[in-house]
């Protein structure tokens, strides 16, 4: 459920590019958007994965949700390219946290013989959610502008944060880890 909520809070990277170009980024510089977002995600992925093996994943997921809400707020309220860059840094950080932690949760909670199926189900749910989010984001962009996309997605980020706050704290060692 949480993975689906997180997917609904994250529109495709193309909307990040559209948002940046609508705030003054020249189209020829559009790859900078994905480079910045993916650089932040890659920089945080390993430390987050390592840390999630040591401390509560719920705490890490709460941090991820907080960053997701923050990134959406910054992108929604951005009226300059500088704020868009700040939003992109936050976006990359939350995306790196999001992906690392969700994959770790799948690996921890799905029995060894069913992990391939577990990841397949995750990707199927993610694809459906991304289709829905991107269809809605396209409509919202056309009707209300690129900033409004992040109000829509931010509502799902906030829902994820609320969901986590009320979620029972379960052990991350649901199944025995493989050695």
Give the model confidence (pLDDT) of 34-56 as tens digits: 999 999 999 998 888 888 888 88
Rounded Cα gap, residues 125 and 112, in angstroms: 20
- Measure the CA angle with vertex 1, ends 41 and 171; round to 5°: 80
**pTM, full prediction:** 0.84
pLDDT for position 99: 85
Distance of CA 178 to the CA centre of its chain: 28
- Most confident of the ranges 4-13, 20-29, 47-56: 20-29
Range list of H helices, the chain: 2-8, 13-22, 31-52, 57-77, 81-109, 115-144, 146-166
The answer to whether 29 and 36 are in contact (CB under 8 A) is no
């Amino acid at each position: 459920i949480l993975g689906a909520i997180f997917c609904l809070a994250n529109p495709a990277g193309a909307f990040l590019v559209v948002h940046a170009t609508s705030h003054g980024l020249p189209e020829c510089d559009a790859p900078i958007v994905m480079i910045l977002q993916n650089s932040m995600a890659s920089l945080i992925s390993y430390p987050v994965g390592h840390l999630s093996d040591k401390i509560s994943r719920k705490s890490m997921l709460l941090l991820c949700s907080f960053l997701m809400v923050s990134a959406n707020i910054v992108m929604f309220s951005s009226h300059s390219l500088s704020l868009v860059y700040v939003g992109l840094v936050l976006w990359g950080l939350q995306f790196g946290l999001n992906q690392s932690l969700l994959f770790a949760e799948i690996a921890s909670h799905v029995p060894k013989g069913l992990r391939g199926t577990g990841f397949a189900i995750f990707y199927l749910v993610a694809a459906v959610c991304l289709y829905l989010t991107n269809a809605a984001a396209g409509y919202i962009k056309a009707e209300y502008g690129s900033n409004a996309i992040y109000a829509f997605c931010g509502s799902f980020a906030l829902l994820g944060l609320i969901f986590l706050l009320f979620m029972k704290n379960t052990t991350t060692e649901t199944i025995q880890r493989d050695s």
